Amino acid sequence: MTRVLVTGAGGMLGRDLVTVLGTRPDLKVTAATRADLNVTDRAAVDAAVTGHDLVINAAAWTNVDAAEADEAAATAVNGHAVTNLAAACATDGTRLIQVSTDYVLAGNADTPYPEDAPTAPVNAYGRGKLVGEQAVARLLPDTGYVVRTAWLYGAHGPNFVATMLRLATQREHLDVVDDQHGQPTWSYALAERLVALADAALAGHAAPGVYHGTCAGQTTWYGLARAAFTLAGLDPDRIRPTTSDRYPRPAPRPAYSVLGHSRWAAVGLAPLPDWHSALVDAFHSPAPPAPWKVA
């Protein structure tokens, strides 16, 4: 039986990973929440990794603006903790899938970033996540996988789609930025793709390195908000376009977070679906989360 450790199992992506993995009778899954495992504690990480064939690290500091205010603390979780995990995996002969972010890129392109694009993070969050990516590449050159994702939404935890639908009950109109481009990605669909990559990795069919785990296509936050309103039975014209300079944030955001997905085909796996079809699936999933139930 294959033994899999999921770190960050209490978060939005982590909970979806545990759900997807739980459908597999051939896997023995250890779900480690933040309360169960402090990933910044090297000794605790060593003990947790021992005996597992694969680790999927979904533990992360995800508050981008708070990272700008305390970069050392954010990097401890997003960077140095990944070093701990990679070192433990190297010692134990364990494969590692590290969930990373588009924020390791500069965000100033006008065509999708390939997996081997030069990194150039523009904020503390991205710099910390890059430390984690570099640790995987350095310590696990043959058994380490980095999957960059972006614009995640899902059933568990705060996210943009849930926020928009909550605000719909409080305001008649919402002004949403229309000058940041990206790929909204359903966390459950990403979890399914991560498990498929894990299968390929364990079978020796997937080369190590960087993969891009975002939905296909592209839109803006304004476009995503309108699509969510439409699916929720709300008037999308309640969403009004605006520009990022109207909403200054402590951490700068990349203007273009569209990623290419060519490496999936190289290992015989399909990339994630188009962002809009995934959003439709999220709204029509068998057990839709409370944020969808607003109409």
Helix axes of 81-92 and 124-139: crossing angle, nearest 10 degrees: 10
Distance CA 12, CA 23 (A): 18
**Would you call 222 a catalytic residue per the annotation?**
no
Q: Checking DSSP bridges between strand 181-182 and strand 219-220, what pairing results, if any?
A: antiparallel
For residue 162 the two structure tokens come to: 């849930």
Distance CA 266, CA 153 (A): 27
Give the CA distances from residue 163 to residues 159, 160, 224, 231, in Å, rounded to whole numbers and listed in that order.
6, 5, 12, 15
Burial of 106 (0-12, 13-18, 19+ CB in 10 A): middle
Dihedrals phi, psi of 30, to nearest 5 degrees: -105, 115
CB 231 within 8 A of CB 281: no
| Number of alpha carbons in the 13 Å side-chain half-sphere of residue 269 | 23
* Catalytic residue (one of 113, 125, 188, 211): 125
Burial of 275 (0-12, 13-18, 19+ CB in 10 A): buried
For residue 119, the Cα-to-chain-centroid distance in whole angstroms is 17
For residue 187 the two structure tokens come to: 């966390």
Residues with a known catalytic role: 125
